[in-house]
Amino acid sequence: MSDGSEKGVTTVKQNVCVIPDLTIKDLLSAIPAHCFKRSALRSSLYIVYDLVVISGIYKTATYLDSLISPEHISLPHPLLYPAARLSLWAGYSFWTGLFATGLWVIAHECGHQAFSESKLINNSVGWVLHSALGVPYHSWRITHAKHHASTGHMTQDQVFVPKTRSQLGLPSFDPTKEDILGSSVSDEVMKELKEALGDSPIGAMLGAATYLLGGWPAYLIRNASGQKRYPKGTNHFNPDAVMFAPHQRDSIILSDIGIVLWLAGITGSVYTFGFWTVFRLYLVPYLWVNHWLVLITFLQHTDPLLPHYRASEFSFPRGALATLDRNLLGGCGSIMGWIGAQATHGISETHVLHHVSSKIPHYNAWEASDALRKRLGQSGIKLEGAPGGWGEVYRVFKECKFVEDEGNILFYKNASGLAATRPSFADGSASDSGIEIDKI
């Protein structure tokens, strides 16, 4: 996106996003039939794999910790021994949190019934794994299914719903000073928007860090970044919450029981082993799991390149394709990119496919994704974003500030009121909003 300024107006050259008119049959028919097969045994082996790796990380950290003493290693200053020990356990929490995110992903697959052919097995395994990670299994499973049904829908999606200009209390749109699609804006409006949004590198950094650390519990407890039409106080623990149906009440209560048992387990462990032991071995890795979850899902669904839809332009295929594949930790080099993908079972790398068919297990998603990408490429659609990491979260956090109250196909604008992308239909037709759409 290149910038230019003339007579107090800044203009940008925008990317073009092809708005798909594919059917779900078009998408599913591109995927080999064997990719849809689910195996309880094979899925279970990945749980064993994750637990073995995590156990190995713990054993390695414990062994190395025993060597950090003057009897085994000579360091030039006494304070370097606790510093070395702190670094060791910080590394333990990072790697344990990354591979425990793999367990989180498997529990998530259980909620999609992708773990096995048995609903009982799926929900039993999912409840145990997610409860052990502080997740209300059925409550989140239900709202997550709604997210899949309405991804990118401004009033039906459940999470990562953009805030509009009016919701943020920004100055009203002025067609004489700015373009509705975000290709140009006057310096006057740009200044007003920046002042209203408080745009700054430090603010974006702090905002992104807060989002990564507290975003997940905030979503569960108070619907942060969730559907804006839900009433204040909406949360995942209330069986009577607006996003749950009456017949789902027992499932929500069962989820709450899992959380109560989780809290009881943490409390009992603190009483038995001491707070610092539980903090070091479980709570810090738990925070890393929450961090990876938010980082991965935020970047899958938030980017200046991705469209959001109002009802008249939404369809399931469009919603499924309003997301991006990204290589987790790929920005740290090919080895870290490989480790990130393997540790989290490709949840970031095969996410578009996951939205097209959520019942495909992760071990078949790689082949299915390759086939789907070839089909999308035939329609001029490429849904691969930059590698997932902290730098990308910072960039996206800065560039994705709000969407307009007008229009039915929306793209994020930044704090200057400029959008990186505009919509285009392959057949040259326009949306019913009256906004001119490019033809490719």
User: pLDDT tens digits, residue range 144-193?
Assistant: 999 999 999 999 999 999 999 999 999 999 999 999 999 999 999 999 99
Can you give the pLDDT at residue 433?
41
Q: Can you say whether the dihedral through the CA atoms of 211, 213, 219, 224 is positive or negative?
A: negative
Can you give the pLDDT at residue 201?
85
d(CA 228, CA 158): 9
d(CA 19, CA 383): 12
In the numeric block, the tokens 């989140």 are attached to: 140
**pLDDT > 70? residue 436:** no
Average of pLDDT values for 233-250?
Answer: 96
Q: For the chain, what percent of residues have pLDDT higher than 90?
A: 91
Q: Which helix (H) or strand (E) holds 220?
A: helix 201-222
**pLDDT > 80? residue 28:** yes
**pLDDT category, 425, cuts 50, 70, 90?**
confident
Beta bridge partners of 9: 6, 186
Q: Which long-range contacts (CB under 8 A, 24 or more apart) does 59-65 make?
A: 61/88, 61/89, 61/91, 61/92, 64/88, 65/89
**pLDDT category, 434, cuts 50, 70, 90?**
very low
- End-to-end CA distance of the chain, in Å? 18
**pLDDT > 80? residue 275:** yes
What 3-state DSSP class applies to 423?
A: strand
Average model confidence (pLDDT) across the chain = 94
Taking phi over 0 as left and psi of -120 to 50 as alpha, with beta for the rest, 423 belongs to beta
CA atoms within 13 A on the CB side of 56: 8
**pLDDT category, 198, cuts 50, 70, 90?**
confident
Average of pLDDT values for 200-221?
Answer: 90
Residue 208 Cα distances to 31, 137, 299, 307, 398, angstroms = 36, 26, 12, 21, 9
334 in Cβ contact with 88 (< 8 Å): no
**pLDDT category, 4, cuts 50, 70, 90?**
low
C-alpha angle 42-43-48 in degrees, rounded to nearest 5? 95
Q: For the chain, what percent of residues have pLDDT higher than 70?
A: 95
Structure token pair of residue 146: 């709604």
**pLDDT category, 6, cuts 50, 70, 90?**
low
Question: Residue 270: which residues within 8 A CB-CB, separation 6 or more?
Answer: 278
**pLDDT category, 5, cuts 50, 70, 90?**
low
Question: Residue 378: which residues within 8 A CB-CB, separation 6 or more?
Answer: none
Q: Which helix (H) or strand (E) holds 185?
A: strand 184-186
Please, what's the b/e burial string for 45-65 (b: 16 or more CB within 10 A of its CB; e: otherwise)? ebbebbeebbeebeeebeeee
**pLDDT category, 431, cuts 50, 70, 90?**
very low
Can you give the pLDDT at residue 202?
87
**pLDDT > 80? residue 438:** no
Residue type, 185: V
Helices (H), 73-114: 80-111
d(CA 283, CA 100): 12
- Looking at the whole model, is its pTM more than 0.85? yes
Average of pLDDT values for 289-316?
Answer: 97
Structure token pair of residue 351: 């996410």
Average of pLDDT values for 295-308?
Answer: 97
**pLDDT category, 126, cuts 50, 70, 90?**
very high
d(CA 125, CA 213): 27
Can you give the pLDDT at residue 255?
98
d(CA 440, CA 428): 7
Residue 378 Cα distances to 32, 34, 177, 275, 381, angstroms = 17, 23, 38, 56, 7
Average of pLDDT values for 374-382?
Answer: 95
Indicate the pairing of strand 15-19 with strand 421-425.
Answer: parallel
